[in-house]
A and B are shown apart, each in its own frame.
Chain A
Amino acid sequence: MRTDRVLYITTLSIALVLLAALPLMAAPTPSNQPTMPNCLDCHTCKNPTPEDMCLKPCPTLQAAHNTRKAKHGLSEAPDTMRLDEIADLYQPVDFNHKLHAGMAQMGNNCGTCHHFSPEGKIPPCKECHMPSGEETNLRQPGLKGAYHRQCLGCHREWSHDTKCVVCHLPTEGKKLAKGVDKTDIMGISHPKTEAPKTKVYTTPYKQGPIVTFHHDEHVDLFGLRCVDCHQKENCSYCHDLAKTVSSRKSMKEVHAVCSENCHATDNCAKCHGMSEKPAFVHAVTGWPLNRFHERLGCRSCHPTGKKIAKLNNECTSCHQNWKPGAFRHAVVGLTLDDTHLELDCESCHIDRKFGARPTCDSCHDDQRDFKKVPPGQYSSR
């Protein structure tokens, strides 16, 4: 070995000397002409134009078309599933399908993840995506890539992280760690979403650039469900607490969310103004809400249709079951005594006008005041 190496170095030195002594012999330049792609690899015609690109069908696009075809119900789907086909270096993943599928209603429904969902049963990922090493199609991720891309596509966007333990069950050797609280895994991966109270937008509309949107009002008061407004949304729009992701909707789509079923767009000033608009108070309708109605959502009284219509403000137009025996008078702060409990409502509330001041005159001719001589007992308010 050693003499070999000495010989090697010696030969090397001699070769170098000879090499240097030789006239400059330029080695042929390697031909590294950039290769032109073959047009027909992607196009079906010889001369594609911007108008007619005659592109060959792309499997991904085909899959996207497929998505739109079939509708699948949430009930067809499993609640949770263990993804363990390829578990090797990490533990399997317990995937809460139900939760994600529910969320997907605000995205692209099942197609949010199942980019291939033909009629009938949605094929499992592994039907097309091969385990690592067995892939045959460069354009289709293997099963490992398919799973990770599908989940991380959204998760990394809003969690700003790619920690493996967010989805993979914690390890303890090769076995599942004991006492793993799977709900906790969900906890790590899904921080509570914080719904905004009020959002103030500055828009390019000159006559009224400021749009004040009272989010809490729409949820608490108007009783809207997330999915009523949030459609075709990306997960990060709500889940990203750092709020780096904006809605990727066009102006038209943004307007449609408000105008489609609720607010007419013929009056821009309804939403647009020069300054922030206060939240809705019922008094502006001419009917300030009393302490009972104040706590109700709009839908309790205005149940029909999407648009809120003006109601008849006679109590009985809504409260049709106010009858002796059926109405617990104590809720108004006055528990009637036995004598008065027997009476018809009209005895004190003339013409069943419950909004008007009740009278004692129907029975008592001493012009008494129900406040001073109560027909029962007042509870302290």
Chain B
Amino acid sequence: MTLQRRDFFKIAAAGSAVLVAGKATASTESTSADFSDNFGVLVDTVACIGCRKCEWACNDQNHLPTQELKAFEDKSVFARHRRPDKSAYTVVNQYPDPDEPDKKFAIKVQCMHCNAPACASACIVGALEKQKEGPVTYDAWKCIGCRYCMVACPFQIPAYEYDNALDPVVRKCTFCYERITSEGKKPACVAICPNEALTFAKRGELIQLARERILAQPDKYEHHIYGEHEIGGTGWMYLAGAPFTTTELPTLTSEPIPPRTEKIQHAVFKGFVPPVALYGLLALGMYTFNERKKKVAREEDRHES
């Protein structure tokens, strides 16, 4: 993780001007301008068979509550439109193909690992960060639980542990950060995908690959690589056999969101010193209160056992 606690204090001590720069650092400088060297994944929904093996692999990798592999053969879940949540970082949805209703169209959804992540730019403490390798990572330690990221994300990905009263954290796809960087492996979902609907590579290569696929089978594919330009480009990109407007992926412009969120934030903060100070104090208060609650809980636990 790039921005450690100690660095954070250093930055804070050096003054908030540096903090602003630090924030900008998190979202832009860490990667080459065109992000082509970042890791990415191409999701070819034409090849996706909706087998849900990626869901299992993700749960397994991230130690999320899960069922045995066989249980994921159950296709009845497709009756309901599902979203990634705190206990499932990725889900596969399946719809009838709009052109041929008898055919099905499956799509895996997870964090898109944006080039210019709105979540990271909205996060006032830098808990969400764009890593130089591509993944947008989350540091629960830094998170103060303000959930700005959830509002900012155009894909509505970050999920919150509302049911965890003591220490709730934001949850989202990690892009198997350790696995793909230090371990040099593919993300768990990519590795398991039987039909190789998921391709893991450098973003630049993936765009090239996606173009070739469209060129080779122009009748089969929509002539659009979703995520190549959307909101400044995303690390995870999609190919589809039907217009993207029929998928659950939102229609977005190529304008990156961070400048927008930052502007809003700055406008909010400008001349709002007292409320912000109040928020700070509130956060402090909430934190101490939580800590006390935790202590009480711990003590109660001790008494019970």
- Chain B positions 156-211 with a Cβ under 8 Å from a chain A Cβ: 185-186, 191-196, 199, 201, 204-205, 207-209, 211
Within 8 Å by CB of B73, from A24, A28, A160, A163, lies: A163
Residue among A5, A13, A149 with most chain B CB within 10 A? A13
Write out, one digit per residue, whether chain A residues 114-133 have a CB within 8 A of any chain B CB (1) or not (0). 00000000000000000011
B269 touches A133 (CB 8 A): no
For A35, the chain B residues whose CB sits under 8 A away are 34, 36, 204, 207
Within 8 Å by CB of A8, from B5, B19, B69, B185, lies: B5
Within 8 Å by CB of A148, from B115, B194, B266, lies: B194
Known A17-B280, A35-B36; contact A27-B115, beta-carbon cutoff 8 A:
no
* Of B79-87, B239-247, B270-278, the one with at least 4 CB within 8 A of chain A: B270-278
Q: Considering only CB atoms, which chain A residue lies closest to B101 in the complex?
A: A244
B27 touches A16 (CB 8 A): no
Write out, one digit per residue, whether chain B residues 32-60 have a CB within 8 A of any chain A CB (1) or not (0). 01111000000000010111000000000
B102 touches A24 (CB 8 A): no
How many angstroms between the C-alpha atoms of A13 and B33 in the bound complex? 33
- Shortest CB-to-CB span from B188 to chain A, Å, is 12
For A142, the chain B residues whose CB sits under 8 A away are 196
Known A27-B23, A42-B215; contact A10-B16, beta-carbon cutoff 8 A:
no
Write out, one digit per residue, whether chain B residues 243-264 have a CB within 8 A of any chain A CB (1) or not (0). 0000000000010101100110
B235 at the interface (CB under 8 A from A): no
B51 touches A162 (CB 8 A): yes
B281 touches A13 (CB 8 A): yes
Residue among A13, A27, A41 with most chain B CB within 10 A? A27
B194 touches A144 (CB 8 A): yes
The bracket for how many chain A residues form the interface is: 35 or more
For B19, the chain A residues whose CB sits under 8 A away are 15, 19
Known A11-B9, A144-B194; contact A32-B273, beta-carbon cutoff 8 A:
no
A20 touches B276 (CB 8 A): yes
Within 8 Å by CB of A42, from B15, B27, B212, B269, lies: B212
A26 at the interface (CB under 8 A from B): yes
How many angstroms between the C-alpha atoms of A329 and B228 in the bound complex? 84
B104 touches A13 (CB 8 A): no
- Shortest CB-to-CB span from B63 to chain A, Å, is 18
How many angstroms between the C-alpha atoms of A60 and B153 in the bound complex? 39
- Shortest CB-to-CB span from A28 to chain B, Å, is 6
For A61, the chain B residues whose CB sits under 8 A away are 216
For B35, the chain A residues whose CB sits under 8 A away are 32
B144 touches A9 (CB 8 A): yes
Within 8 Å by CB of A16, from B103, B209, B280, lies: B280
Q: Considering only CB atoms, which chain A residue lies closest to B21 in the complex?
A: A27
- Chain A positions 140-168 with a Cβ under 8 Å from a chain B Cβ: 141-142, 144-145, 148-149, 152, 156, 160, 162-165
A27 touches B69 (CB 8 A): no
A57 at the interface (CB under 8 A from B): no
Within 8 Å by CB of A34, from B20, B21, B228, B269, lies: B228
How many angstroms between the C-alpha atoms of A18 and B125 in the bound complex? 14
A2 touches B291 (CB 8 A): yes
Write out, one digit per residue, whether chain B residues 279-290 have a CB within 8 A of any chain A CB (1) or not (0). 111011001100
A160 touches B288 (CB 8 A): no
How many angstroms between the C-alpha atoms of A24 and B17 in the bound complex? 10
How many angstroms between the C-alpha atoms of A28 and B20 in the bound complex? 10
Within 8 Å by CB of B269, from A13, A19, A244, lies: A19
B24 at the interface (CB under 8 A from A): yes
Within 8 Å by CB of A10, from B21, B229, B266, B284, lies: B284
B148 at the interface (CB under 8 A from A): no
- Chain B positions 88-121 with a Cβ under 8 Å from a chain A Cβ: 100, 102-104, 115-116
B297 at the interface (CB under 8 A from A): no
Within 8 Å by CB of B16, from A9, A15, A132, A138, lies: A15
For B207, the chain A residues whose CB sits under 8 A away are 35, 37
A29 at the interface (CB under 8 A from B): yes
- Shortest CB-to-CB span from B146 to chain A, Å, is 11
B12 touches A11 (CB 8 A): yes
For A27, the chain B residues whose CB sits under 8 A away are 20-21, 23-24, 258-259, 262
Residue among A23, A37, A164 with most chain B CB within 10 A? A164
A22 touches B16 (CB 8 A): yes
For A9, the chain B residues whose CB sits under 8 A away are 144, 280, 283-284, 287
B270 touches A164 (CB 8 A): no
A17 touches B229 (CB 8 A): no
For B155, the chain A residues whose CB sits under 8 A away are none
A20 touches B196 (CB 8 A): no
B288 touches A6 (CB 8 A): yes
Within 8 Å by CB of A33, from B17, B34, B47, B51, lies: B34
For B232, the chain A residues whose CB sits under 8 A away are 30, 32
B277 touches A133 (CB 8 A): no
How many angstroms between the C-alpha atoms of A148 and B228 in the bound complex? 28
How many angstroms between the C-alpha atoms of A188 and B118 in the bound complex? 48
B24 touches A28 (CB 8 A): yes
Within 8 Å by CB of B205, from A13, A29, A133, A138, lies: A138
B150 at the interface (CB under 8 A from A): no
B186 touches A21 (CB 8 A): no
- Chain A positions 331-358 with a Cβ under 8 Å from a chain B Cβ: none
How many angstroms between the C-alpha atoms of A33 and B17 in the bound complex? 27
For B66, the chain A residues whose CB sits under 8 A away are none
B229 touches A22 (CB 8 A): no
Write out, one digit per residue, whether chain A residues 61-80 have a CB within 8 A of any chain B CB (1) or not (0). 10000000000000000000
Please list 6 pairs of residues, one from A and one from B, whose beta carbons are closer than 8 Å in the complex, sorted by A's number.
Answer: A11-B8, A22-B20, A30-B28, A33-B34, A58-B212, A61-B216
Binding site for A on B (CB under 8 A): 5, 8-9, 12-13, 15-17, 19-21, 23-24, 27-28, 33-36, 47, 49-51, 69, 73, 100, 102-104, 115-116, 124-125, 142, 144, 185-186, 191-196, 199, 201, 204-205, 207-209, 211-212, 215-216, 228-229, 232-233, 254, 256, 258-259, 262-263, 266-267, 269-270, 272-273, 276-277, 279-281, 283-284, 287-288, 291
Which 7 residue pairs spanning A and B have beta carbons closest together? A13-B280, A145-B196, A32-B232, A19-B16, A27-B24, A18-B16, A30-B28
